Structure 1
Amino acid sequence: MNSVWLLFLPACFALNLVPGPNNLLSLNNAACHGLRLACLAAFGRLLAFAGMIALAASGLALVLQTSASLFLAIKLFGGLYLLWLAVQLWRAPAQSLEAGLPIQRANLWALARQEFLLAAGNPKAILIFTAFLPQFVDPRLPAGQQFALLGGTFLVLELVAVALYSLAGLHLGRLLAGQRARRLFNRCCAVLLGGAGLGLLLSRRPA
């Protein structure tokens, strides 16, 4: 499990750093309301992700234990999804900050609720927990414990990503929001995701 977890770390962190709507919201919140409020509001996002992880663990544990072919299908689908996401991220137009999400008033509950709703309604997040996490679960070992470790790692790294985006919004502001910087950042994440996808597709599957 240790070697699988070490493979999981960079791939997971690349997903955490993808400049999606929640990360852009943290950037905006920090720029407008400060670092503390932006980080606290992000716990709404973590709550939504924790619920998705629990649902994925309870629903896919039986699949992993009873069907090797379905496990392989999920693994292949997840690897191909990573490659597709890398290509989309590489080709994505670099939007400026003005094209982002509207800012709510400086109320922690309102901002946390917006984080929760954005995360819960994001189809890419659902795909991550149903196709990405199961690839790193060894069917020979208890699935619940592995989902807990991988899911907990994802949430911790997500909180790190929140802090980084909030700091960027607080200190870099317009520099990070520029098209050239966004394009470079998108392509760096695309390279990490593409490498992780190829590594998973070429890796030996557990018997």
Structure 2
Amino acid sequence: MHLQTWLLFLLTSIGMSLSPGPNALLALTHGALHGSKRTLFTIAGSLLGFVLIIAGCLFGIGALLESSAHWLTALKWLGGAYLVWLGIKLFSAPAISMDLAVSARGDAWSLFRQGLATGVTNPKGVLFFTALLPQFLDPERSLVTQFVFIAATYSATEFAVECGIAVGATRLRPWLARSGRRFNRACGAVLVAIGAGLPAH
């Protein structure tokens, strides 16, 4: 990948990472509920999900989705249903405790799984990368090498953005201890709305 092409992809990645979506919202809620350090497990799962989407788009899933609308429809319903389930669960969650020992009890594997599932079932990510990645590929160069550069670049920008969101949410803990119930309900409602709206797009 030429330097100019990589710089253009870097700028595109930053823009995509900064755009609001379910993974950013999950980092926000987990940062508030479990602290920024525990949310690293969520972010790691999200990044793995995005890397799997990028790999799938580069190595064939994009063509599969283009050949059959049923696969895309199924992915939209699956991703939507998962986000609705997460939203309902968050909506009914109690306000956070100021006791870090209590609030940091989120199981690492559970946080990782939630991040992974949210990332890999995001149809907007599939559509975006399917449409975007061919613009940056050089047919004269190794596809595997280009995959490494693309996946590493996007993972770096997404990691920086989600970490920033999680740290910011952690600093809101005193306010969330007072108004956390409303925060949970608002974020839960947004997740449900995103999940319900995915199949329609």
State TM-score, norm by structure 1. 0.59
Aligned residue number for residue 107 of structure 2: 107
Aligned residue number for residue 60 of structure 2: 59
**Cα deviations by residue, 1:124-146 (Å, 9 ceiling, x for unpaired):** 11112211122111223333311
Q: Is 2:150 the counterpart of 1:150?
A: yes
Shift of 1:35: 0.7
Q: Partners in 1 of 2:124 and 2:25 — Cα distance?
A: 15
Contact 1:30 1:167 in 2 (8 A): yes
Q: Partners in 2 of 1:144 and 1:52 — Cα distance?
A: 14
**Cα deviations by residue, 1:2-24 (Å, 9 ceiling, x for unpaired):** 00111111111111121111111
Instruction: Output the amino acid matched with 1:37.
Output: R
Q: Partners in 2 of 1:114 and 1:35 — Cα distance?
A: 16
Aligned residue number for residue 19 of structure 1: 20
Point out where structure 1 has 5 or more consecutive residues left out of the alignment.
64-98, 176-207
Instruction: Output the amino acid matched with 1:27.
Output: L
Point out where structure 2 has 5 or more consecutive residues left out of the alignment.
64-86, 95-104, 177-201
Alignment coverage as a number of residue pairs: 139
**Cα deviations by residue, 1:139-198 (Å, 9 ceiling, x for unpaired):** 2333331122111111111111111111121125779xxxxxxxxxxxxxxxxxxxxxxx
Contact 1:13 1:157 in 2 (8 A): yes
Q: Partners in 2 of 1:106 and 1:145 — Cα distance?
A: 36
Instruction: Output the amino acid matched with 1:4.
Output: T
Q: Partners in 2 of 1:110 and 1:148 — Cα distance?
A: 27
Q: Partners in 1 of 2:124 and 2:88 — Cα distance?
A: 18
For 1:42, what is the secondary structure of its paired residue?
A: helix
Q: Partners in 1 of 2:3 and 2:15 — Cα distance?
A: 19
- Percent identity, please: 34
For 1:169, what is the secondary structure of its paired residue?
A: helix
Q: Partners in 1 of 2:88 and 2:39 — Cα distance?
A: 16
For 2:60, what is the secondary structure of its paired residue?
A: helix
Pair 3,101 (structure 1): closer, same or farther in 2 beyond 3 Å: farther
Instruction: Output the amino acid matched with 1:28.
Output: T
Q: Partners in 2 of 1:60 and 1:111 — Cα distance?
A: 26
4+ residue segments displaced more than 6 Å: none
Instruction: Output the amino acid matched with 2:139.
Output: P
